[in-house]
Structure 1
């Protein structure tokens, strides 16, 4: 088992610039909550982002599902990130060859690398996908998460797939700073991959479409992960977005403090 460090301690020693920024933000703001805002209208996305902003360390988007996307949306998201002190994670899940993802990341109508601090990728195409994304994102100070595990029932992201994904990450730690996964991935004391975990819920166990939920305590304390990702649990009831954001932020941070307490000498 790795030597335990607080978010702040990890920020001081982390070799990856994007990871340092995230860990510093989490410590400064006392939150390990990421809200996944999967809505299809610009106004709704901005409204939710503004409401959850004070409570999150990361706002997770699916920008390509927004029907009325425009450059103004990006500019407003960037301003909200500065106002409320959070990072933006475009959940693009790149999954093509290196040359193609370079264009998908840097070009097109979305120009993801220009505004999203964090993005992610499947490792199905092999290591070239990391290099292609790195060519675009590293000079901009961006960071990449690899999808080592997923929270949906029957997912094939397990076993050798997960093992190989971790091995690829170790060879690209200047750009790959962590994983989307269900458990801690560090194997030695000098490794410090950040794990962001989807499928977190306080009230339900599944959604009928294969999603499986775990509590913040299960994710942070039992599995040793770092960031909880919550979606519909926060914005499912529009009149309770701030209340639910605070609830999940408090639950996630309480779980982190409990983990800290468990590891004290």
Structure 2
């Protein structure tokens, strides 16, 4: 059965969403006409800032792995925040926390990265149990941040299915003020009054896999057929020999076209 949120516009969902961070993101998506998140997995500050600036006009969300940047410094964070304001996108640090509540609280708020101070959204595995949400929430909720849980992954052989997925969803339902959605391959909303944002990696227009277990699906498959909300694209935009601006525009248009098809059905 198609969930009611699949027929609503991003703007309509933003106006009534119970999660402040999700509401901000949905409003941005409607305003900017994009459901594209760029997975910017590069290892130098210069490359990260250059690509973010070029693709920024087409994004709603910049997804980072800040701990793989060889020359990380606080200036990188400050410049990313300038670009986020310039191009009107939010930032998602793909940290995938997976420890007990007390540990993740410090990993999120402290250390050299101080993720909570600049990243609008982060994510976590459900493996440690609900304490991981409690710990992250203590830091992130007062700052207006949002949390995604990993319900399903796009890599071949992933163990994120069955009872793991079921229990992860139940934890999210008990923490909707902070948990805004999921990294998932499908729309997870079931109850009429819930509106979890579904963000989907493994999206590509040209290839079906990368030889290392990643499996790709098209924006239309993700948005229309599976009812997800955001497409997460990485190497399809900035892979070797690609025009990052042209590819950013191409994926933005493909994702938005799929969304318009979905809400018009």
Under TM normalisation by the shorter chain, which class is it?
A: over 0.9
3-state DSSP of counterpart to 1:195: strand
- 1:139 and 2:142 aligned: yes
C-alpha distance in structure 2 between counterparts of 1:36 and 1:238, whole Å:
17
- 1:245 and 2:248 aligned: yes
Post-superposition shift, 1:5? 1.1
C-alpha distance in structure 2 between counterparts of 1:114 and 1:190, whole Å:
31
C-alpha distance in structure 2 between counterparts of 1:238 and 1:114, whole Å:
35
Q: Give TM-score scaled by structure 1 length.
A: 0.98
Structure 1 residue runs without a partner (length 5+): none
Q: Give TM-score scaled by structure 2 length.
A: 0.98
Name the counterpart of 1:128: 131
Name the counterpart of 2:62: 59
Name the counterpart of 1:9: 12
- 1:216 and 2:219 aligned: yes
3-state DSSP of counterpart to 1:210: coil
Post-superposition shift, 1:188? 1.5
Of residues 64, 73, 88, the one that matches 1:70 is: 73
> How many residue pairs get matched?
262
Give the root-mean-square deviation of aligned CA atoms: 0.7
C-alpha distance in structure 2 between counterparts of 1:256 and 1:231, whole Å:
20
Structure 1 runs, 4 residues or longer, greater than 3 Å off: none
Of residues 100, 103, 118, the one that matches 2:103 is: 100
Name the counterpart of 2:90: 87
Deviations along 1:171-226, whole A, 9 cap, x unmatched? 00000010000000000110000000000000000000000000000000000000
C-alpha distance in structure 1 between counterparts of 2:31 and 2:201, whole Å:
23
C-alpha distance in structure 2 between counterparts of 1:49 and 1:123, whole Å:
30
Name the counterpart of 1:189: 192
Post-superposition shift, 1:260? 1.0
